[in-house]
């Protein structure tokens, strides 16, 4: 997957939800928002891409492994796995804040997935009727960076159904 182009997804992503996650003052609220969006796109992707019978999948980790077991390259869901691990650390290990290593690990996985995309110069722009919201990656705190990278990971999962063949996970356009 390469950055820089524009694609139309079958799964509708909501930038406003990203802004909610980024602007939620509580890191636990932010990770729950990102994980919820990730889990929804995983469910959608499994429903549209995996041939029946589909086993009962309760957890995000099971959904990720289901996609890999059915032929999706692990690289494609590596960022999703990191998000899930961080979320589990918040939920089960009394984690209270995003750490630089959380962001670095996710950034490395997202960068590898998108073919070397440089986030340091990235600017997120949310257009509104009365004004634009502009957030520079370099100026973001750890929570905001994790959320932005999480949104890139969610987009990568959402794009699976337009880049791979259902049931086989063979690339539709190998270029």
Q: Which neighbouring-strand residues pair with 125?
A: 134
pTM for this entry: 0.89
Q: Which fold has domain 15-163?
A: 1.20.120
Q: Is the pLDDT of residue 1 over 70?
A: no
SS (H, E, C) 95-120: CCCCCHHHHHHHHHHHHHHCCCCCCC
Kindly list the domain boundaries of the chain, sorted by start residue: 15-163
Per-residue pLDDT tens digits for 72-115: 999 999 999 999 999 999 999 988 999 999 999 999 999 999 99
Cis upstream peptide for 53 (omega within 30°): yes
């Amino acid at each position: 997957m390469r950055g820089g182009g524009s694609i139309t997804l079958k799964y509708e992503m909501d930038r406003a939800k990203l802004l909610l996650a980024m602007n939620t003052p509580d890191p636990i609220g932010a990770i729950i928002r990102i994980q919820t969006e990730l889990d929804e796109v995983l469910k959608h992707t499994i429903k549209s891409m995996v041939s029946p019978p589909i086993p009962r999948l309760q957890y995000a980790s099971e959904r990720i492994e289901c996609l890999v077991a059915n032929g999706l390259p692990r690289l494609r869901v590596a960022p999703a796995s990191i998000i899930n691990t961080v979320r589990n650390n918040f939920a089960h290990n009394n984690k209270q804040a995003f750490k630089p290593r959380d962001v670095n690990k996710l950034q490395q996985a997202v960068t590898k997935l998108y073919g070397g995309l440089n986030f340091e110069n990235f600017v997120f722009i949310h257009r509104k009727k009365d004004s634009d919201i502009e957030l520079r990656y370099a100026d973001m705190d750890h929570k905001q960076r994790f959320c932005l990278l999480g949104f890139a990971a969610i987009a990568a999962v959402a794009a699976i159904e337009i880049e791979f063949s259902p049931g086989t996970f063979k690339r539709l356009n190998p270029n």
